[in-house]
Every structure is written in C-alpha cells, then in structure tokens.
Amino acid sequence: MEPEVSRELEKKIAKRVRKILERENLYQMTEKKVREIASKELEISLVNEPFKAIVNRAVEDFLVKLRNQTQKTSLQVQEEFKAKRRSK
C-alpha cells in the first residue's frame, strides 16, 4: 500500500522540482536525476510511489509551461517582424 502524501508535501516537492529544472541544463537532466537531486535537497526518498508520480507530474507541468512560453515568444517575434515589414 502506498503512503499517503499531504497536499502540502506534494506542493513542496513540485516546487523543488521546478527550481531544479530552472537551474539545471535540461539537455542533461533526466527525471531520475531530478528525483535524486530533490531527494537530497528535501532529505526524503522520492524513489518509490507515490513520490515518483508527483515528480513526474511536476516535470511534465514544467515542460508544458516552458513549451507554451516558447510558443508565445515565437509568436511575438513573428508579429514584431510582420509589423516592421508593414511599416516599411
């Protein structure tokens, strides 16, 4: 049976995962490495369920937000380029 995880602990883990992903090289980072770093920093083992699932969700959420930000930035650049071309 999986241990119960409080909402507060889940938020704490997700926040730590985001901070790790913000500072680390995403090209070299794996979910396992994120779990290991977060485990050390939080001083709790995140290798088993339900903790693995919490880390997985946090990583996926981070990547979705990053992709959305990248798409917005790309659209903004395209719009600025179009506006400059029209003003010529």
* Other beta carbons less than 10 A from residue 34's beta carbon: 22
Domain hosting 57: range is 7-87
Give pLDDT tens digits for 21-79.
999 999 999 999 999 999 999 999 999 999 999 999 999 999 999 998 888 787 787 78
Alpha-carbon gap, residue 34 to 61, rounded angstroms: 14
**Predicted TM-score (pTM) of this structure:** 0.80
Q: Check residue 73 and give its pLDDT.
A: 83
What is the total count of domains within the chain? 1
Residue 1 maps to a domain:
no
Contact present, 21 and 62 (Cβ < 8 Å): yes
pLDDT at 88: 65
Compute the average pLDDT of residues 18-23.
98
What's the pLDDT band for 86 if we cut at 50, 70, 90? confident
Residue 55 lies in a domain: yes
2 in a structural domain: no
pLDDT of residue 21: 98
